[in-house]
Structure 1
Amino acid sequence: MAGLNVSLAFFFLVVGVCQVLRRISKRFLSPGAYGCLARELAGSLQLCMSCLELRMLLEVGPWGGGFGPDVVLTLLFLLFVLHGASFDGASANPTVSLQEFLLESSFSATIAKLLAQGAGMGMGWAVTKLYWSWELTHFHLIQNLMASECSSSIHTSLHHAAFVEGTCSFLFHLVLLKLQQSHPMYRVPALAMTVTLLTYIAGPFTGAFFNPALATAATFHCSGSSFWDYVQVYWLGPLAGMLAALLLYQGNIPRLFQKNLLYSQKSKYKIPKARVAAAHAEGDEARQKRKGEKSNTEPHA
């Protein structure tokens, strides 16, 4: 239990440091630079360090600490609630940034977000490795012994793994699109619950990352799968899932297809039937009047 307490202190420290980084950046940077760079950098750093520590607890905890996956899943839900409340609008997820680009974001802002996410994930991986090297708990000692021979998170066939990651991404983005206009009080716990359920179901097959940057930092360096295998599962799978969710929700993929491919275009305003009938009656009366005027103007024999 002492090792779990150290991990809990680590989570709070990471969130606190990243929150200080966000406040300082918001004060000294322009809104555009803060939104595209500092906010995404801090969010990616926070997400990567938290998820790496959680992943360590999931792998070592059952036999090194005597607690099961239920503890890790509970922590995952609480952490994603905390992330949603503290991220200040950052996604820390390349597929979310690409979705924003397809909807409304500019190309330069999207590139800046992707670079910041990559830098944040890389920094998070390096700092977490340094933290583990201090071996503050027996969990970290075991993790350091395992780190040199870490294995791939893909525990199924390649096509099935890509399908699993794509399906997770599809469901996550569908919920995200559905709740994008909702109040944070409802949106944050709903997204946290979605991530927790998807991790519980898909975790044994692929680790359930459905975040290309996080997967790159967490598992690309492990042996057991080639780089191209990782790309197919953890990059192309989530990207395809995001596009499918956007297509289902919007009926098209903006910037790629202007025409609605799934749903017929309906008028935003409904006209009452009585008003429609009155308009038809007025039209018939006007036609009759014009016909009468035409017959009166015709020359008589």
Structure 2
Amino acid sequence: MAGLNVSIAFFFLVFGVCQALRQLSKRLLSPGAYSCLARELAGSLQLCMSCLELRMLMEIGLWGGGFGPDVVLTLLFLLFAVHGASFDGASANPTISVQEFLLLESSLAATAAKLLAQGAGMVMGWALTKLYWSWELTHFHFIQNLIASECSSSIHTALYHAAFVEGTCAFFFHLVLLKLCQSHLMYQVPALAATVTFLTYTAGPFTGAFFNPALATATTFHCSGSTFWDYIQVYWLGPLTGMLAALILHQGNIPRFFQKNLLYRQKSKYKIPKARVAAHVEGDERRQKREGEKSNSEPCA
């Protein structure tokens, strides 16, 4: 359990550093620069480093440390709960940023800045985690360094099935996110953490269940066994397609491109009682009758 304790200490260290980075940048930068750049950079850095260490535990710790998958899944739930509570509105996920753009919640320039910050955060997270592993503080890290140069692809099924799996995971994740977007953080955070945990448990053996293009790019694109185009189809096109399907199902349209609702009829927010409607129609008929009689009584010019 000593190796697991070191990993838990690493999670706390990553959270503390990224939280300090958020607080410092919030004081030094303008609100726009903070929300589009610093916040996304810190969130992506925190997500990437935590997920890389957790992925290492998932691959090596199950047989090298003797603990079961329940430990890893519990850590996954707790990590995403901490991420949701500490990200301060950052998404650290390109599909969420594109979704905000399609919902008219973010401009093109802001979306592009977020994507760049997410990419930079993921690259920094990968480099810093590799440096941390090189210190070989535990036997897990020693084994990880031995197999790092020979890592294999996370795609363990047919290509079309892998893209479908990633798209389905993204679909359910974004559907839950859209349903809970107006909910209190106290309900939103555990619900999203439970969704991520369930999807990872279900789809992990097939694709790793990333449904986050930036995270997948930093984690598995350099591994052999699949081509670059295979990775793009599975880890970029799959999640983006799932996000679009969830958005259309929830909204009935894509607000950025057209306003007409394709799936749902627009209903009036307020219902008028039938008796009031009948009285209103009857009053209109009486008024029109009086006006007609008045016009008939007037002499012709």
TM-score category of the 2 structures, normalised to the smaller one:
over 0.9
In structure 2, the partner of 1:74 is 74
In structure 2, the partner of 1:87 is 87
Tell me how far apart the structure 2 counterparts of residues 298 and 225 of structure 1 sit (CA, whole Å). 91
Tell me how far apart the structure 1 counterparts of residues 273 and 250 of structure 2 sit (CA, whole Å). 28
In structure 2, the partner of 1:225 is 226
Shift of 1:298: 7.3
Residues 6-21 of structure 1: pairs in structure 2 closer than 5 A: 6-21=6-21
Tell me how far apart the structure 2 counterparts of residues 286 and 150 of structure 1 sit (CA, whole Å). 83
Tell me how far apart the structure 2 counterparts of residues 121 and 237 of structure 1 sit (CA, whole Å). 20
Tell me how far apart the structure 2 counterparts of residues 182 and 79 of structure 1 sit (CA, whole Å). 20
Aligned residue for 1:101, secondary structure, equals helix
Shift of 1:276: 1.1
User: 1:243-278: CA deviations, max 9, x gaps?
Assistant: 111101110011122211111122232222222111
Aligned residue for 1:148, secondary structure, equals helix
Given residue 51 of structure 1, which amino acid in structure 2 is its aligned partner? C
In structure 2, the partner of 1:212 is 213
User: 1:214-236: CA deviations, max 9, x gaps?
Assistant: 00000000000000000000000
Q: Does 1:29 align with 2:29?
A: yes
Given residue 71 of structure 1, which amino acid in structure 2 is its aligned partner? V
Given residue 178 of structure 2, which amino acid in structure 1 is its aligned partner? L
What is the total number of aligned residue pairs between the two structures?
299
Shift of 1:294: 4.1
Aligned residue for 2:150, secondary structure, equals coil
Tell me how far apart the structure 1 counterparts of residues 7 and 53 of structure 2 sit (CA, whole Å). 7
Shift of 1:295: 4.3
Length-normalised TM-score, structure 1:
0.97
Structure 1: tracts of 5 or more residues without a match: none
Structure 2: tracts of 5 or more residues without a match: none
In structure 2, the partner of 1:173 is 174
Given residue 36 of structure 1, which amino acid in structure 2 is its aligned partner? C
In structure 1, the partner of 2:273 is 272
Shift of 1:161: 0.4
Given residue 73 of structure 2, which amino acid in structure 1 is its aligned partner? L
Given residue 190 of structure 2, which amino acid in structure 1 is its aligned partner? P
Q: Tell me whether 210-219 or 284-293 shows the greater mean CA deviation.
A: 284-293
Aligned residue for 2:142, secondary structure, equals helix
In structure 1, the partner of 2:122 is 121
User: 1:113-132: CA deviations, max 9, x gaps?
Assistant: 00000000000000000100
RMSD, aligned α-carbons: 1.1
Tell me how far apart the structure 2 counterparts of residues 137 and 110 of structure 1 sit (CA, whole Å). 40
Shift of 1:297: 4.2
Residues 123-138 of structure 1: pairs in structure 2 closer than 5 A: 123-138=124-139
Shift of 1:12: 0.3
